[in-house]
Amino acid sequence: MTDIDTLMTPLARALAKKGYDSLTPVQQAMAADDLHGRDALVSAQTGSGKTVAFGIAMAPTLLGKAHLFGPAGAPLGLIIAPTRELALQVMRELQWLYAETGARFGSCVGGMDARTERRTLERGVHIVVGTPGRLRDHIEDLEFILDSAPDQRRTLLFSATVSHAIAQLAKTYQQDALRIETKGGAKQHSDIEYRALLVKPADKENAIVNLLRYYEANTALVFCATRAAVNHLSAKFHNRGMSVVALSGELTQNERSHALQAMRDGRARVCIATDVAARGIDLPGLDLVIHADLPQNKEALLHRSGRTGRAGAKGVSALIVPVSQRKKAQRLLGWAKVTAKWDTPPSAAQVQARDDERLLDGFVVSEDVDSQLIDRLLAEYSAEQIAAAYITQYRSNRSAPEDLQSVDLNGPAEKAHRDGFDNSVWVSLSVGRKHNAEPRWLLPMMCRGGDIARRDIGAIRVQKHESFVELNADALEGFMQALKSGSELEEGIQVANPSRKIWGPMIGVPKNRGTKHRARENSPSRQGSARHLTRSGDL
């Protein structure tokens, strides 16, 4: 007898049909006899099967000893998820898990027709899955929903991590909750291969290109720190012929749904997103996670990486580490208790060699080709010429890999600042404090848009309507040539003609006003009838 056989018969059959032969640790904990009827506060790492786990935990309360639900009326169970995507994902999972119980589900999520949802509720449902914003017209007003739930209820709180805020919520609204924590310990994300790839700052984007090309993953997720970085990378990769979608806070719900559907049906293979925009999304078969910008903390690292390596599948989590941020990356990995292989990104030659392997491994000989055409080709061209044409055609459909600057893996970390330039020039940017300009995002933008290294940037002074940036004079020519249309750094941000001034700041640039910055590493700075309530965190 397996641990699945100890479950209620309808759930056991549903799991068997899905190919389950055993339960994960968190699912086993939810099936334990000592949990029946009790509140629970549960933490388990991303990808550990928490949705099925709380489906198992809910069943005895909702069904009792019966195997089928009775007629649907007022909701018996309410599940709250932080995002629309996660709520719909949870509902899909529970629908197959409860398929043989006759359960009727209703959703209450943003971006859907509220009138249709209301009619569904009026007809009667057994389980409601919703988001706080739709359940009440105040985003994240979870306390209101909990206050409105019946006193006689059972509450299960699930999250990948239990923050202080969640712990306080549990203390306030749960009764004698059983604390359950499942950890991988030394096997933290054991199905994920962590790689820390050391690069020159100016090579970050090219390193990502080579990484995507090297793995050619069916689905890849690239995390950026800002919305601007998401837009920049997605535009650049799209121009290279890559099938990409972008997720950021500026998208409408329809645009988000369209982007995610493109990933699921294979029309797009790369999703570029911020942490907030990617919260709660689930991309089946995700093989590769790339951290274009380092995560802010260990929780973000584990949440990001946990999108791959799920359900026994293998995955890769690659951190792009500028040489000046090596120590920060080492601390981050240490705090997260994961071991990464330190290396440099795949070179152009390595990508090409990997392409050659894929070409040979994927070579298919078809007998349905016109034999007369084959005879004509062999008559007019040699075998070498035909093979060369085939290789050329194969390579033309793929973005060319990039040459990267060499990096010494054992060398000291490069300083992210210098005292000044003997020969410097100043350029002005058409953004200032009025536009929320800050050195922390002007600096990487200058590196990206102007194709220069941080060491070539000196002081940054932000004024009300514009900003002034000191450049190494030797880097000026390359910087100006890299600009769009000769003067545009990024969309809407213009670079004025530089004024040259040696041995000091440009005339007219205030010395003591505004924000002065020397390039350096930046520090991270109402379903009242429900008898069963579950909150799902980041799965």
Residue pLDDT, tens place only, 439-462: 888 888 888 888 888 888 888 888
The pLDDT of 233-262, averaged and rounded, is 85
Q: Is the pLDDT of residue 495 over 60?
A: yes
Task: Check residue 208 and give its pLDDT.
Answer: 94
Domain extents for the chain?
3-185+529-536, 189-337, 350-396, 424-518
Task: Check residue 346 and give its pLDDT.
Answer: 93
247: helix, strand or coil: strand
250: helix, strand or coil: coil
Q: What class, spelled out in words, does domain 424-518 have in CATH?
A: alpha beta
Burial class (CB in 10 A: 0-12, 13-18, 19+), 348: middle
181, containing H or E segment: strand 178-182
Any residues with CB less than 8 A from the CB of 326 and at least 6 apart, and which? 198, 413
Task: Check residue 364 and give its pLDDT.
Answer: 66
Task: Check residue 343 and give its pLDDT.
Answer: 93
Q: Is the pLDDT of residue 104 over 90?
A: yes
The pLDDT of 518-525, averaged and rounded, is 38
Task: Check residue 518 and give its pLDDT.
Answer: 44
What is the tens place of the pLDDT at every residue in 250-309?
777 778 888 888 888 889 999 999 887 887 677 878 889 999 999 988 888 988 888 888
Q: Is the pLDDT of residue 341 over 60?
A: yes
Q: What class, spelled out in words, does domain 189-337 have in CATH?
A: alpha beta
Task: Check residue 98 and give its pLDDT.
Answer: 94
472: helix, strand or coil: strand
394, containing H or E segment: helix 383-396
The pLDDT of 114-134, averaged and rounded, is 84
Given the structure tokens 């640039």, which residue do they identify? 509
Give strand pairing partners of 499. 426
Task: Check residue 272 and give its pLDDT.
Answer: 94
When pLDDT is cut at 50, 70 and 90, the band that residue 105 belongs to is very high
Q: Max CA-CA distance within the chain?
A: 86
37 dihedral zone (left: phi>0; alpha: psi -120 to 50; beta): left
What is the tens place of the pLDDT at every residue in 386-426?
888 878 877 777 778 888 888 888 766 555 444 456 678 88
Task: Check residue 146 and give its pLDDT.
Answer: 63
317: helix, strand or coil: strand
Task: Check residue 498 and give its pLDDT.
Answer: 57
Question: Which has the higher per-residue pLDDT, 226 or 158?
Answer: 226
When pLDDT is cut at 50, 70 and 90, the band that residue 525 belongs to is very low
241 dihedral zone (left: phi>0; alpha: psi -120 to 50; beta): left
Q: What is the four-CA torsion angle of 236, 237, 243, 248, rounded to 10 degrees?
A: -70
The pLDDT of 183-194, averaged and rounded, is 66
Task: Check residue 144 and give its pLDDT.
Answer: 59
Cα separation, 52 vs 59, in Å, equals 11
When pLDDT is cut at 50, 70 and 90, the band that residue 350 belongs to is very high
Burial class (CB in 10 A: 0-12, 13-18, 19+), 52: buried
Task: Check residue 136 and give its pLDDT.
Answer: 60
Task: Check residue 504 and give its pLDDT.
Answer: 35
Kindly provide the b/e burial profile for residues 230-266, where b requires at least 16 CB atoms within 10 angstroms of the residue's own CB: bbbbbebbbeeebebbbbbeebeeeebeebbebbeee
What is the tens place of the pLDDT at every residue in 49-95?
888 998 999 998 898 888 899 998 888 988 988 888 888 889 999 99
* 242: nearest Cα among 212, 199, 279: 212
Q: Do 103 and 58 form a contact (C-beta atoms < 8 A)?
A: no
Instruction: Select, from the ranges 114-118, 138-142, 212-216, the one with the highest average predicted confidence (pLDDT).
Output: 212-216
Cα separation, 452 vs 405, in Å, equals 13
Q: What is the mean pLDDT of the chain?
A: 79
Tell me the CB-side half-sphere exposure of residue 371, using CA atoms within 13 A: 1
Q: Is the pLDDT of residue 195 over 90?
A: yes
The one-letter amino acid at 120: T
Any residues with CB less than 8 A from the CB of 419 and at least 6 apart, and which? none
Any residues with CB less than 8 A from the CB of 13 and at least 6 apart, and which? 100
Task: Check residue 293 and give its pLDDT.
Answer: 93
Q: Is the pLDDT of residue 469 over 50?
A: yes
Cα separation, 382 vs 18, in Å, equals 52
Cα separation, 140 vs 126, in Å, equals 24
Task: Check residue 86 and give its pLDDT.
Answer: 84
Distances (CA, A) of 213 to 202, 238, 244, 358, 393: 19, 14, 13, 12, 17
Question: Which has the higher per-residue pLDDT, 484 or 407?
Answer: 407
Given the structure tokens 């911020």, which residue do they identify? 274
The pLDDT of 223-238, averaged and rounded, is 89
Tell me the CB-side half-sphere exposure of residue 381, using CA atoms within 13 A: 12
Task: Check residue 528 and give its pLDDT.
Answer: 42
Question: Which has the higher per-residue pLDDT, 431 or 249?
Answer: 431
Cα separation, 246 vs 441, in Å, equals 20
Same fold, 3-185+529-536 and 189-337: yes
Determine the topology of domain 3-185+529-536 in CATH: Rossmann fold (3.40.50)
The pLDDT of 113-132, averaged and rounded, is 85
Task: Check residue 501 and give its pLDDT.
Answer: 40
